[in-house]
Structure 1
Amino acid sequence: MDAISFGTDGWRATLDTFTEDRVRIVAQAVADHLRAAEAGETVAVGYDAREHSRGFADAVSETLAANGFEVLLSERDCPTPVLAWTVKDRRLAGGVMITASHNPPEYNGIKFLPGDGAPATPDVTDDVVSRLAEPTATEQRGTVREDTFTTSYGQHALAFSGADLDGLHVAYDAMHGSGRDVTDRLLDAAGASVESLRTDLDPAFGGGSPEPSAAKLGDLVSAVTSGDAELGFANDGDADRMAVVTPQRGYLDPNLLFAVLYDYLLESGSGAAVRTVSTTALIDRIAADHGEEAVEVPVGFKWVARGMADADALCGGEESGGFGITEHLRNKDGVCLALVVAQAHAERPLDERADAIEAEYGEIHQGRVSVDCPDDRKAAVLDSLDGDLPDTVAGQAVDRVGTKDGFKIFLADGTWLLIRPSGTEPKLRVYAEANDGERVDELLVAGRTLLEPRI
């Protein structure tokens, strides 16, 4: 049980550690948590496209059923947001998803979703972890029934997005993940003609990791920038994140994509936007211009989701490409959001929207570097910064320092530098944002120089 550790978004590990026995232990803890919370009798179970995910999902289902729960098991691998929305829509006790998201194929993971479909907050996961124990059984056994979650989800996503894409030619890259035959089919159902890339089932993800970064989407970028398609979409392994490619810009920076999305939503709605500490200040400028608020939270969509509820926000997002719309789901959703963004493009091309935002609010450039740091040194290194930050960084005076998640140093020229611990690796992260790439590089060097002598 010591090997089971819930991090930013559930428990992930390589397959030598992530075993069926340990998965059953987690499932038992989920059962005990739900029973203690009197959350309900029915639990949904989903899984991604990895080789062993269905087997782990079967183990979870069997354990929950042995504890008296009724289990709805996805008939095929499915996107995490499809499972999350199903839990919310059907008012289930909760959901369990087997996925390692964008990690390489030698990883797998498990996450628990409470009844609202939002990511589990630490008080919930701490309670689950406190109940880790060998599986047991109750006298009254539940049943396991396969269900097609994507049907009702798809109907909702099409109606919610209002997508009318007749005549739009898009390219879609599933990266061999669970978005295949879901995101592309919904785009097609909305009227778009869809060119599909990597939509075949490949549990090894083509020998890489299903991470929708610019470096891994070369074919998608080529399909759009060559003029073959007007717009491109990609999902990560469990389709809760989304990348977008446009004809002029190619891979659209997720920070700018979030700004475009928020600005579009404000055309017909109102409300705050929730962003993580590492996400662009463009969101703040757009919010202020519309008389709205930008709410800053620590890194992790669980904090974004909580902020969306607390602020009754319009939407939330993070610089890694995870976005959610409160009215739809307080969770990342790379499927429904693809329809929303496609509709925004159909009304006005995304390149034009991005150009207008930069003309109005200024350009933004971001960068990130990692500094090796043993896990047992992270706290000490960050503690050493408390009260010992310099008055100037990279030639600019320090204006103020935020401490929601590590140290976010705001400088007199409007730029910022963020230093925070990685939640998944023995590293410290250094982020920077400025109006040009050269200034970003200067800030990243300054951040690394500040950290390295302390490790």
Structure 2
Amino acid sequence: MNAISFGTDGWRATLDVFTTPRVRMVGQAVATTLQEAGHDAPVGICYDARETSRGFAEELARVLAANGFDVLLPDRDRPTPLLAWAIRERGLSGGLMVTASHNPSEYNGVKFIPDDGAPALPEVTDAIESNLAEPDPLPEGEWGTVEEADFMDPHAEHALDLVADYAGDDGEIDLDGLPVAYDAMCGSGRGVTDDLLSRAGAVVDRHRCERRPEFGGTPPEPSAETLEALTETVRNGDPRLGIANDGDSDRLALVTPKRGYLDENLFFAALYDFLLEADSGPAVRTVSTTFLIDRVAEAHGEEVVETQVGFKWVAEAMAESDALMGGEESGGFSVRNHVREKDGVLMALLAAAAEAEEPLDDRVDRLLDEHGEIHQSKVSVECPESEKERVLADLDGALPDSVAGAAVANVVTEDGFKIVLDSGAWLLVRPSGTEPVLRVYAEAESESRVRELLDAGRDLVEPLV
């Protein structure tokens, strides 16, 4: 039981720790938590493309059913956002997703999604952890059923309708032969994201769209390094846009002819600008996400809400502010009138729609011409978990009046310390939630200035560790 830590992104571990008995304990904890909250509607369970995921999903289904819940399972591995939408669209009690997302194949994991389809907040995950126990089945006559359900078509139909509101003609979206290259990274987006793009009219060149439980030896994490072949295809071939999803397709990455791998910050700004052509509303971003979002918002008379790192906080703020779009610099985004959960499948369709209207390279160029160049990077400083709180407390008493020759204009304490300079550049120091390190982020008008700020940030933090 002590090996299970059920945070917002669920519990992830290597397969020597992520075992069937422990997975069954998680299933019992979720059943108990739902019962205590008065839920009795069915529960959805989906899983990613890993070798062990279907078996773990079936174990969870058996435990939930033995606690009296009807359970819906898909016909094959399916992306996390399809489960999130099904929870909202079908009025489910919640859902369990068996996935280790972008982690290597020797990992697996499970996350719980509540009945609103948004990430679980701490009070929910704390309740699940407190209810961890061996399965406690009801008498067999009171068991629920386990049935196969279609998770794909309802999500696709909703996505097509939603995107048509922004880019459609007569209520329908038509990408009209737009050439797109799609890389599933052998994950659960295969046959889902590419199918959705095809249904909207795109001509899709498919890459790594076969199931490989070991992901071809490369963790399903879209990055400039793992998408070199996709970048080569887009830069030297017909596709106007390259799209990739991570292992469970809640995030996406883009490749363009001019920029190659498109920085997620720039994509966020470009898509928000695109959405504002047809709608209005604030944006929600994390403290580690670019100020370019703020500049786009200001140009349209909109506001920006800043949150801690973690999509659960983005989702909460989206509800409170009726935001048009929310996102984070790691590639997770959602929009109004959808579930407040990262959705790399829907965002792929929105990205293609934006590209069809105006090439993303051109839109990004225009935004940078209007609002100024923006560059961002980050480094890590090793710090034991036991020392993080002390180091941050010491940093609070050692914050400088200037950084790398620029005066400090403001310090934001939403998540760690974000030191905003009078030039508009910033430096952020915050604890990693998953590794024994402190993250140091910087954003400025040039790559050389970012490096200077990162060096200054490292020099500020390392003596305190």
TM exceeding 0.5: yes
Q: Secondary structure in 2 aligned to 1:176?
A: coil
- State the Cα distance separating 1:6 from its structure 2 match: 2.2
Q: TM-score, normalised by structure 2?
A: 0.97
Q: Secondary structure in 1 aligned to 2:337?
A: coil
Counterparts of 2:33 and 2:290 in 1: how far apart (Å)? 37
Contact 2:8 2:120 in 1 (8 A): no
Equivalence for 1:202? 212
Equivalence for 1:276? 286
- State the Cα distance separating 1:454 from its structure 2 match: 1.2
Contact 2:7 2:125 in 1 (8 A): no
Equivalence for 2:308? 298
Q: Deviations over 1:347-386 (max 9, x none)?
A: 1111111111111111110001111111111111111111
- State the Cα distance separating 1:407 from its structure 2 match: 0.6
Q: How do 1:160-199 and structure 2 match up within 5 A? A: 160-162=162-164, 163-199=173-209
Equivalence for 2:168? none
Structure 1 counterpart of 2:366, from 356, 375, 378:
356
Q: Secondary structure in 2 aligned to 1:72?
A: strand
Counterparts of 1:27 and 1:51 in 2: how far apart (Å)? 20
Counterparts of 2:458 and 2:331 in 1: how far apart (Å)? 25
Q: Deviations over 1:319-370 (max 9, x none)?
A: 0111101211211000011111101111111111111111111111000111
Structure 2 counterpart of 1:218, from 228, 239, 250:
228
- State the Cα distance separating 1:178 from its structure 2 match: 0.4
Q: Secondary structure in 2 aligned to 1:248?
A: coil
Contact 1:211 1:236 in 2 (8 A): yes
- State the Cα distance separating 1:41 from its structure 2 match: 2.3
Q: Deviations over 1:52-107 (max 9, x none)?
A: 01111011100000000000011110000000001011111000000111111111
Q: Deviations over 1:148-194 (max 9, x none)?
A: 20011112112221231112111000001100000001111111111
Equivalence for 1:334? 344
Equivalence for 1:151? 153
Q: Aligned partner of 2:147: which letter?
A: R
1:421 has 2:431 as partner = yes
- State the Cα distance separating 1:396 from its structure 2 match: 1.1
Structure 2 counterpart of 1:255, from 262, 265, 282:
265
Contact 2:41 2:91 in 1 (8 A): no
Q: Deviations over 1:235-256 (max 9, x none)?
A: 0000000111111111111000
- State the Cα distance separating 1:387 from its structure 2 match: 2.4
Instruction: Give the % identical residues.
Output: 62
Counterparts of 2:7 and 2:449 in 1: how far apart (Å)? 33
Q: Secondary structure in 1 aligned to 2:83?
A: helix
Q: Aligned partner of 1:144: which letter?
A: V
Structure 2 counterpart of 1:286, from 293, 296, 304:
296
Q: Deviations over 1:378-420 (max 9, x none)?
A: 1111111112211111111111111111111111211100111
Contact 1:9 1:300 in 2 (8 A): no
- State the Cα distance separating 1:7 from its structure 2 match: 3.1
Counterparts of 2:296 and 2:49 in 1: how far apart (Å)? 38
Counterparts of 2:233 and 2:40 in 1: how far apart (Å)? 47
Q: Secondary structure in 2 aligned to 1:418?
A: strand
Equivalence for 1:29? 29
- State the Cα distance separating 1:8 from its structure 2 match: 4.3
Count of aligned pairs: 455
Equivalence for 2:49? 49
Higher mean displacement: 78-87 or 1-10:
1-10
Contact 2:44 2:72 in 1 (8 A): yes
CA RMSD, 1 decimal = 0.9
Counterparts of 2:178 and 2:423 in 1: how far apart (Å)? 42
Contact 2:6 2:128 in 1 (8 A): no
Equivalence for 1:4? 4
Contact 1:174 1:234 in 2 (8 A): yes
Q: Secondary structure in 2 aligned to 1:220?
A: helix
Give the unaligned 5+ runs of structure 1: none
Contact 2:8 2:111 in 1 (8 A): no
Q: How do 1:34-113 and structure 2 match up within 5 A? A: 34-113=34-113
Q: Aligned partner of 2:396: which letter?
A: D
1:389 has 2:399 as partner = yes
Counterparts of 2:40 and 2:118 in 1: how far apart (Å)? 17
Contact 1:8 1:423 in 2 (8 A): no
Q: Deviations over 1:197-231 (max 9, x none)?
A: 00110011111211111111001101111133111
Counterparts of 1:16 and 1:433 in 2: how far apart (Å)? 40
Structure 1 counterpart of 2:143, from 141, 145, 153:
141
Counterparts of 1:234 and 1:445 in 2: how far apart (Å)? 32
1:239 has 2:241 as partner = no
Contact 2:377 2:442 in 1 (8 A): yes
Counterparts of 1:14 and 1:445 in 2: how far apart (Å)? 34
Q: Secondary structure in 2 aligned to 1:119?
A: coil
Higher mean displacement: 62-71 or 131-140:
131-140
Structure 1 counterpart of 2:240, from 226, 230, 235:
230
1:434 has 2:434 as partner = no
Equivalence for 1:120? 120
Q: Aligned partner of 1:97: which letter?
A: M
Counterparts of 2:218 and 2:15 in 1: how far apart (Å)? 16
Contact 1:172 1:196 in 2 (8 A): yes
Counterparts of 1:6 and 1:422 in 2: how far apart (Å)? 16
Contact 1:399 1:412 in 2 (8 A): yes
Q: Aligned partner of 1:148: which letter?
A: D
